[in-house]
Structures are given as structure tokens and as C-alpha cells.
Amino acid sequence: MVLIGRKNKNRVRLRGDDVAVSAVSYTVSAAFALLCFAPFLLVIIYSFTPYDLYLKNHFDFFPSRLTLDAYRMVAKYKYIWSGYRNTLYVALFGTALSMLLMVVTAYPLTRKDLRGNKVIMTLWIITMFFSGGMIPDYFLIRSLGLLNNLWSMILPGLLGCYNLILTRNYMESLPRSLEEAALIDGANDLQVLVRVVLPLCLPILATLGLFTIVGYWNSYFNAIIYLTKRTNWPLQLVLRELVFESGVNELRQGMAAEERATTPFLLKMASIVVATLPIMLVYPFLQKYFMTGLVLGGVKE
């Protein structure tokens, strides 16, 4: 090949294909990243902008006055703190248990010829399309005694077919040699899963862990149906209620005159910041697991 010759001539210096690939990668990624950052930046700026300034100019990145009114109002609201507590509880326990269940369910399914696997997989796929709906679900939760219990937000969504397929698929793509070696050394399947497969699954666990924790963090619908006490509400439901028109109107009635300028719009923006910042902080911790390639020490196919 021609390229081999060229490569030998300048090993470190820039080559045509490198320049092309790098140029495209950096430019497109940066451009798209900035495009995606714009709305988020706007939301943050809006949350500090007095409403009359927002109304005059929707794209003022440097408003002449700033206000903390929206944040003050959010902080005043009594159910915010219990909301944080409940959401943390649901997100942490839910994600941990969900990951555990996902791994032990997915691993046997990677053994394609294990008897019964095909049936189980088909049963799972059917659940992607057919469900009983709100009322039978309610009866189930009621008979389990989980009404008004935070576990009613955790259990029904513990494992979905989508995540299960992705995990199983990922496990299947791993090199089999290590598993086989371990089995031959006399390890049982559970030991193989824990010692050999799991460490290699960090990227997918980080990814689906992220999906799951964000999913639990943002969920609120089960709370509407199963949690009848307001002190049990998760943060997202509390904030959703707060920015709902009537909630704001009631708040405004009890406000001093200078605060009355705060509007549903500002509150909405502030509540996004309040609700998403904590969960976004999780991201960098998980990011490194799916952004850096694994070093498969000792794996030789």
C-alpha cells in the first residue's frame, strides 16, 4: 500500500488522513456541543433575569439587572426539602437494586443455548408492548401494601427490557476466553460473573447506571398514583406543581409587593436549575467509565 510508505517517512508528523479526521471531529463536535449548550445557558441566564427584561429581549445574554427572587421563592417552599430527600432515596436505592437485578438477569441470557432462555427473552420483549395499564398496576401495588411507600416508585420500574437487551448484548460482545478459562479452573458461574465479567462491564454499567439514575431522578408519575401524602412526593413532582399556574398564583397572593414581579416563567427556569444540577454532578464520575477504553489486561483471543 502507498500509505505504508508514507507512514514510514514521517511517523509523528501530521498526515493527510489524520488532519482530515481530526479537523472534522473537532469542528463538528465543538459546533454541536455549543449548539446544545445554548438552551441550557439561556435557562440559567433566564433564571436570574427580571421578567420585564426578559419580555423586552429574549436573547439578552448580559441582562442589566439580576435577581435571585425565583430561587428565594423555591427555597421558601416547604416540600422542596422532603422532595430532595425522597428523590435521593428513590434514585440511590432504585439504581443500586436495578443494576444488581439487571446483571444477574442478563448474564444467564448470554448463554444462548441455556434451556428456557428463548422463552424468557420473548416474554421480556412482549412487555415492551403490552401492559395492563394504570388500574391493574394500582391494584398490584395496593395488594403489596406499597401505597404511600417510596418503594412503589422504585419497584415497578426496576428493570426494563431495553436495558436488559443492551447489557446482554454487551456481555456477549466480550471476549469469551477468560470466562472459559475460569470455568475450566473450577469456578462456578456466579464466580465467573463477579470476578471476570463484571469488571469488563464497567462501561455498560456506567451507561445504564446513568440512564437508570436519571430515569429515577426524573420520574414522578407513579408518585401521583401511589403516594397520597405530600411529604412523600419526589422533587420533580414538587417542582412540577410549583411551576403549575395555580401554584404560582397562590404564592403570589401571599407575597410582598417587590416579589410579585417573579413569574411562572422565572420559577420554571430556576426550578430546572435546582432540579438538574445535582443529577448532572453525577455525570463526570460516570463519564470516565464510558469515555475511556478499557485495558483488557491479559486477554488474548
Partner 1 sequence: MKKALSLAVVLATLLAMSALTAPAALAEGETLTMLQRLPATYVVEDNPVIKAWGDLYGITIEIEAPPISSFNDRRNVIMASGDLPDLMYVGDTGALYTQWSKEGLFLNLDPYFNAERTPNAFAVLNDDELFTVKVLNDDGSSSLYSLPRVQTKPQDVIIYRADWLEKLGLEVPTTAAEFAVVVEAFATRDPDGNGADDTFGWSLNTVMGPEHRSLLSAFGTHPMEVPEADGSYKLLQQQPAYIEYLAWCRDMYSAGALDPEFYVTKMYEDDDVFLAGKMGVIYNSKVTEHLAALNDPAGVFQTGNPGAKVVAGPPLRLEGETVADVWYNPQVWGNYAINADSDLIDLALKVLDDGYTDKVNELLLVGLEGVTYTTWDPETRFAFKDSDEIIANATSYCASYATINYQRQDKGLLVATANTPEQLDVFNGTEETVRAAARRVSFLSGNGVPGYGDIQVTITEVGIPDAWGEIRTKYITGEASLEELQAFINDKYVPAYQPLLDLYAAYNDGAGFNK
Partner 2 sequence: MAMTAAVTQRRVGWGKYLYKNRWLYLMSVPGLAFLILFKYIPIYGVVMAFQDFKFKTGVFGSPFNHFKHFVTLFSSDRFYRVLTNSITLSSMRLVASFPVPVLLALLLNEIHARWFKRCSQTLMYLPHFISWVVLSGIVVNFLSMNDGLVNDLIQALGGKKVNFLGSSAWFRAMIIGTNIWKEAGWGTVIYLASLASINPEYYEAATVDGANRFQKIRYVTIPGVSGTIVIMLVLAVGGLMNNGFEQIYLFQNDLNISVSDIFETYTYNIGVVGGQYSYSTAVGLFKNMVGAILIFTSNTLAKRLGGATLY
Helix (H) or strand (E) holding 266: helix 264-291
Binding of residue 193 to partner 2 (CB under 8 A): yes
- Residue 23 or 68: the one with the smaller Cβ distance to partner 1 is 68
Longest dimension (CA), the chain: 79
Residues 66-95 that bind partner 2 (CB under 8 A): none
Is the Cβ of residue 180 or residue 231 nearer to partner 2 in the bound state?
180
Per-residue interface string for the shown chain with partner 2, residues 235-274, x marking contact by CB under 8 A = ---------------------------------xx--x--
Burial 158-178 (b: 16+ CB within 10 A, else e): bbbeebbbbbbebbeebeeeb
Interaction partner, residue 272 (partner 1, partner 2, none; CB < 5-8 Å by kind): partner 2
228 is an interface residue for partner 1 by CB under 8 A? yes
Q: What is the three-class DSSP state of 100?
A: helix
The answer to the question of residue 21 lying near partner 2 (CB under 8 A) is: yes
In the numeric block, which cell numbers belong to residue 224?
401521583
260 counts as binding partner 1 under rule CB under 8 A = yes
Subset of residues 129 to 148 that bind partner 2, contact rule: CB under 8 A? 129-133, 135-137, 139-140
Site for partner 2 contains 221 (CB under 8 A):
no
Whole-number Å distance between alpha carbons of 70 and 79? 16
CB–CB of 52/113 below 8 Å? no
Closer to partner 1 by Cβ: residue 9 or 229: 229
- Indicate which single residue of 80, 146, 153, 204 sits in contact with partner 2 (rule: CB under 8 A): 204
| Long-range Cβ contacts of 275-280 (<8 Å, 24+ apart) | 275/235, 275/236, 275/239, 278/84, 279/91, 279/213, 279/214, 279/217
Please list every residue from 50 through 89 that binds partner 1, using CB under 8 A: 50-53, 55-56, 76-79
Question: If binding means CB under 8 A, how many residues of this protein chain bind partner 1?
Answer: 45
| CB closer to partner 2 out of 156 and 247 | 156
User: Which listed range, 65-73, 80-88, 104-112, 252-260, lies at the site for partner 2 (CB under 8 A)?
Assistant: 104-112
Considering the complex, what minimum distance in angstroms separates the CB of residue 39 from partner 2? 5
Q: What is the DSSP string of 166-218?
A: HHHHHHHHS-SHHHHHHHHTT--HHHIIIIIIHHHTHHHHHHHHHHHHHHHHH
Candidate residues 170, 216, 220, 226; the one interacting with partner 2 per rule CB under 8 A: 170
Binding site partner of 44, from partner 1, partner 2, none, Cβ cut-off 5-8 A by kind: none
Site for partner 2 in 272-301 (CB under 8 A): 272, 276, 279-280, 283-284, 287, 289-296, 299, 301
The CB density around residue 235, as the number of other CB atoms within 10 Å, is 27
Retrieve residue 188's grid coordinates.
462456578
The grid coordinates of residue 228 equal 397520597
**Which has the closest alpha carbon to 110: 158, 182, 175, 160?**
175
Q: What span, in angstroms and rounded, lies between the C-alpha atoms of 62 and 117?
A: 59
Q: Is 244 in the site for partner 1 (CB under 8 A)?
A: yes
Q: Could you list the residues that contact partner 1 (CB under 8 A)?
A: 50-53, 55-56, 76-79, 134-135, 138-139, 142, 221, 224-225, 228-231, 233, 237-238, 240-242, 244-247, 249-251, 253-258, 260-261, 263, 265
